[in-house]
A and B are shown apart, each in its own frame.
Chain A
Amino acid sequence: MIQRKVLEIWVGVFVAAGLFALGTLAFRVGNLATAEVANGYRIEAQFENIGGLKVRSPVTLAGVRIGRVAAIGFDPATYQAVVSMNIDGRYNVIPVDTSASIYTSGLLGEQYVGLEPGGSEEYLKDQGKIQLTQSALVLEKLVGRLFTSFIEKPAADKPASDKK
C-alpha cells in the first residue's frame, strides 16, 4: 500500500495539472482572455447586408480591435440588419460621423466591423448610432458579376452564327 503522504502529493499534482489544463484551454486555446470588454458602451449601426458577421466578431478601428459585436437583430421597418457593438470604455472618442463597414480578413477569413473615424468634434455615447454604413461584400455576388461580364463579352465580340 502506497504511503498516505506520497498518495496525497500525487493526487495534488494530478488535480493541479488538470485545473491548469482547463485554464490553458480557456485562455490560450479559447477566447476567454479577449472576450471580455471592460466598462464597455454600446453603439449601433444598420447594414443592408451583414454577410457572415456573427455575435462576438471583432470591431476594429485602424486595424486595432476596440470591441466586439454584442448582438445582431433585424429592423422590420427598414428591412436592415441592426448590429449593436460593445466598445471598450478606453476608446470613448469615436466621432459621431464615423462610418462602419464590414470587411473580411483574408479572402475567406472571418468577417469583422471596421470603423473609419470622421472629423466631428462630437463623440458617440452609449446607445449612439452610426449613420454611415457599408454592407459586407458577398462573394457570390462578386463572382456572379464577374461571370456575367465574362459571358457578355464573347457574345458581343462574336456574331451569333458560330454555335457549338
Chain B
Amino acid sequence: MRAFQYLGGAALDGVERLGRATLFLYEVVSGSWMLVRRFYLVIEQVYAVGVLTLVIILVSGGFVGLVLGLQGYNTLAKFGAADSLGLLVALSLVRELGPVVTALLFAGRAGSALTAEIGLMKATDQLAGMEMMAVNPVTRVIAPRFFAGIVSMPLLAALFSVVGVLSGHMIGVGLLGVDVGAFWSQMQNGVDFYDDILNGVIKSVVFGVVVTGIAVFEGYDAVPTSEGVSRATNRTVVYSSLAVLGLDFIMTALMF
C-alpha cells in the first residue's frame, strides 16, 4: 500500500510540475512582446549565455574534430576509403555531435548559471521586490534569458561544427596525409544542405528551447534556500542532459 501511495504521489508531483512549467513558459513567451522595446536586455543576456560559453565550445569542438579525424582515419584506411575522411567528420559533426555535445556543454555552462542566478534572485527576494515595484519579473528577468538561450544555441552549435571540421582537416590532411582535394570534394558531395545542415540547425534550436526552458523554470521554481538553489541547479543539468539525449534520438529517427 505504501509503495502505491509513494508511486501515486510521485506521479502527481511530476504532472503538477509539468503543468506549472508549461504555464510558466506560456507566460514567458506571451510576455515577450516588451523585449522589442527593451532589446538591450536580450543583448546583455546573449553576452552572459553565449559569449561566455564560447571558449569551452570552441575548445571542445577542436578536440572532438581531432579525435574524429584520428579514429575515422584508422577505420576508413582499413577499407581503403581514407579519402572519405572529410565526409565522415563533417556528417558526424553536422548531424549529431555538433548539436548534441554543444547542448550538453551549454546545459553545464550556461543552464546551470541561469538556474543559480534566478534561484538566488528568488532566495534574496529580488523577484518579489520587482513585483512590489509593479515590474513583472517574468518579462523583465526570465524572458530575455530564455530568448538569449534560443538565439545562442544554434550559433554555438554551428561554431562547434566548423571548428571540428577544421581540426579534422588539420589531422587528416596535415598529419595523416589525406589528399586535400578529396577531403573537401567528398565532403561537399556527401553533405546535403537541406537534409544534413538544416536538420542540424533545427536540432540545435530545439535543444536551445529545451535547455534554456528547463534552466529558467528550475531557477524560478527553486525552493528559496541555499539548499533549494543547489538542488535546482543540479536538476537543471541532469534533466536537460537527459532531455537532449532523448529528444536527439527521436529527432534523428524522424529526420534521417
Contact = CB atoms under 8 A, between A and B. Distances in A.
Interface of B is mostly: helix
A30 B191 contact: yes
A7 B47 contact: yes
By size class, the interface of chain A is 20 to 34
A11 B46 contact: yes
Contacts of B81: 108
Interface in A9-63: 10-11, 13-15, 17-19, 21-22, 24-26, 28-35, 56
A25 B162 contact: yes
B197 A29 contact: yes
By size class, the interface of chain B is 20 to 34
A24 B196 CA distance: 14
A30 B159 contact: no
B256 interface: no
A31 B192 contact: yes
Interface of A is mostly: helix
Contacts, number: 84
B42 to A, nearest CB: 9
A93 B183 CA distance: 34
B245 interface: no
A7 B44 CA distance: 7
Nearest to B166: A24
A56 B161 CA distance: 24
Interface string B147-174: 0000110111011011001000000000
A110 B193 CA distance: 17
Q: Closest 6 interchain pairs by CB? A: A18-B155, A21-B158, A32-B193, A30-B193, A21-B162, A22-B158
Interface of B: 43-44, 46-47, 50-51, 54, 81, 90, 94, 151-152, 154-156, 158-159, 161-162, 165, 184, 187-193, 196-197, 200-201
Interface of A: 2, 7-8, 10-11, 13-15, 17-19, 21-22, 24-26, 28-35, 56, 108, 110
Given A10-B47, A21-B161, A24-B158, 17 more contacts: A11-B46, A11-B47, A11-B51, A14-B51, A15-B46, A15-B155, A22-B158, A25-B162, A26-B193, A29-B90, A29-B162, A29-B187, A29-B191, A30-B193, A32-B193, A35-B193, A108-B81
